[in-house]
Amino acid sequence: MKTKYIFVSGGVLSSIGKGLASAAMGALLESRGLKITLMKMDPYLNVDPGTMNPFQHGEVFVTEDGAETDLDLGHYERFTNINLKRENSVSAGQVYETVIAKERRGEYLGGTVQVIPHITDEIKERIKKVAKGKDVCIVEIGGTVGDIESLPFLEAIRQFRFDLGEENVIFIHLTLVPFLGASGELKTKPTQHSVQKLREIGIQPDFLLCRTDRILPPEIRAKIALFCNIKAENVITAKDVSNIYEVPLVFYEQGLDEKICNRLRLKTKSKGLDKWAKISSALASPKNGVVEIGIVGKYVDLTESYKSVSEALVHGAIANQVKVNLKYIDSEKLESTNPDSELAGLSGILVPGGFGNRGVEGKIKAIEFARTHKIPYFGICIGLQLAIIEYSRHVCGLTKATSREFSNTGEFVIDLMEDQRRVERIGGSMRLGSFQCKISPKTLAAESYGLNEISERHRHRYEVNNHYRKILTEHGLVFSGINPEMNLVEMLEIKDHPWFLTCQFHPEFKSKPFAPHPLFVAFVKAALKNTLQLKKNIRKDISKVVTVNQTKVMKKHRPECN
């Protein structure tokens, strides 16, 4: 069977939900037994998002083979059973870099190198390479239709239909149908103009996914169909939902997967979406109450910077049948405030990955608060490194403990590996991708995983300095996970604490709603236990106050009680 291609574009505005829509379609087709893959085409000239500011681009997602990619690849992996690779994330920078390198090597035989056909051909070859051996390849085109930087990608996919035939390629366009409260109307003009832009460059969409806050009535769908030259039944409502894991269910209820398969002449039968229905039900009606987790970071103004972490916490909540409320705490502001005002009463505290020294002291204050107040703490990447620094300063007496990343003076309990000191470039030069970790028995890590050896994804440059491991161990730290090849610390814990665990890797990248990561499951479980204990203590305090007040009243009105 020939590989079928689904190209997903977006209009009107950015961040409209193309990544989630693509991931949801992948889930639908995978549930029908089809072998799928997904790709993201980004129009920016950066080679990858690894050096881009999270405020501009959001989270950097890391694949098993160590590629720094767009956060939408995280959605693709969470919604499906596939593990994506470097080749599944393509930027304009990568494409131009490859074409220019070929020109320098003389591969174009002296010809004039142009966007068409050289850039578009390179884009098409990359798509075909990823799609090889798959039933369906879903390709998301980043950016918004009408942006000049997206044109080479749109031209490349336009050519695909002519190259491979109409029965093998479909175009799906995601657009906006806003509801204006002032007039009480759903407005179709943004969708009409967006499709018009798409048709101007030669692409007629087969399906429209209309992002809106309500189910589109038949008359609105008919109007959109008329002005966009599309069948009314192919105008699909992409309705806002309470959680992202409802998106496959919304599409399934409208028969999107059936319509796609009919259009591509794929003979498959739906097997239902029971697992997605169970996930949605668990999120809607948690049986064990609510836990509040504080995420202490410096990118809290754009929570997309911690997308995989927040979703992994939701997965842990599903496994524990609780609702998780996330409180994002600005680590810079925490530096100059009393931590009690922000951290008291939290069920658990998490410090996610990050780079640079901005907000570091605030994170250290949060870690000290979690350690001394016996609040469950989960540290990821820099969250491990700062836990080492906090413990070194306040328990081991190493008052100048720091990381070489933050300062050139002091006790470098966190330092560069020898080979990293010779690195001159920034992009793609860290410890990236999957590495092994050997877990010590009878530790929180061993209890959480139920394994003695694991493999997890990394994205960092600095490591725990092995010269300080002895003094840290003597003062109660437990190094529960070690990389066996390089003898590097991967996990650490604290004795005599209800739940204090940190890891140098990024477990959030491997968590899925139907396969939650064991560390997030264990952390949320510890947070739930802490919440129940807090409630118990509050009830005891209230009982004491009531008893004291009752005694005072009795002594006042009944002298024999004195």
Mind telling me the catalytic residues?
Answer: 381, 506, 508
Please give the Cα distance from 293 to 170 (Å, whole number). Answer: 43
Angle at 75 between CA 446 and CA 180, to 5 degrees: 135
Please give the Cα distance from 29 to 449 (Å, whole number). Answer: 31
Q: What is the 3-state secondary structure (H, E, C) of 173-231?
A: EEEECCEECCCCEECCHHHHHHHHHHHHCCCCCCEEEEEECCCCCHHHHHHHHHHHCCC
Of the candidates 310, 291, 289, the one whose C-alpha atom is nearest the C-alpha of residue 299 is 310
Q: Hey, what are 219's tokens? A: 């008359």
Cα→Cα distances 392→158, 411, 414, 555, Å: 59, 9, 11, 54
Of the candidates 411, 422, 421, 419, the one whose C-alpha atom is nearest the C-alpha of residue 465 is 411
Please, which residues bridge with residue 291 across strands?
324
Please give the Cα distance from 39 to 176 (Å, whole number). Answer: 23
Q: Hey, what are 87's tokens? A: 């080749």
With the CA atoms of 130, 133, 138 and 143 taken in that order, what torsion angle do they form, in degrees rounded to the nearest 10?
Answer: 10
Classify residue 330 as exposed, middle or buried by CB count within 10 Å of its CB (0-12, 13-18, 19+).
Answer: middle
Please give the Cα distance from 465 to 471 (Å, whole number). Answer: 11
Please give the Cα distance from 166 to 178 (Å, whole number). Answer: 32
CA atoms within 13 A on the CB side of 112: 3
Please, which residues bridge with residue 406 across strands?
none
The β-bridge relationship of strands 477-483 and 488-494 is antiparallel
